[in-house]
A = this chain, B = another copy of it.
Amino acid sequence: MEKSILITGGVRSGKSELAERLALRATGRAVYIATAEAWDDEMRDRIATHQARRGPEWSNHHVPLHLVEALGRTDGGDPRLVDCLTLWLTNLMLGDHDWRAAGETLADALTRQTAPVVLVTNEVGAGIVPENKLARDFRDAAGWLNRRVAEVSDTVILTVAGCPIKVKPNDNPL
């Protein structure tokens, strides 16, 4: 199995289902690292929907901020699934943390893992420019983080309507 796989796509495009399938492919068991904070009912529902899909083959961790430490603690065994980077970034920004330093630390940590990691993220930058400055800053940061993690990933996949498109490695060079 590849060491590091990044899966990106629009909302409800099948990213998490694909990530779960890939994480379980090697050993039939995997570690789930959830970054979502249940800060309102809507998010609580979304988390519950995702959890309901996962059986006893998963060991679950709730990691809103300390992702690199969690990867260190869980390394050496089953594949890890991080779901998702966009919510991790949201938590970093809302808590006024240095998200860029955290992203660099994550990219660096990903190159040193022994067990595989599957990371889920979101495409948020293909709509009209938002009127809200915070939203513009967020999509800039999310674009940067996606590229930084993609750089150190062996495989990058875009999901569209539940279908995966492999964008790295590039079998169709420019």
Chain A residues close to B by CB (< 8 Å):
6, 8-14, 22, 42, 121, 123-133, 135-136, 138-140, 142-144, 146-147, 149-151, 155-158, 160-168, 170-172, 174
Q: How far does the alpha carbon of A146 sit from the alpha carbon of B142 in the complex, in Å?
A: 24
Number of copies: 3
Contact between A10 and B140, CB atoms less than 8 A apart? no
Contact between B160 and A156, CB atoms less than 8 A apart? yes
Chain B residues whose CB sits within 8 angstroms of the CB of A9 once the complex forms: 126
Complex A-B, nearest 8 residue pairs according to Cβ-Cβ distance, in ascending order: A127-B127, A12-B143, A10-B125, A11-B125, A147-B162, A126-B126, A150-B161, A10-B126
Chain B residues whose CB sits within 8 angstroms of the CB of A144 once the complex forms: 12
Chain B residues whose CB sits within 8 angstroms of the CB of A125 once the complex forms: 10-13, 123, 126-128
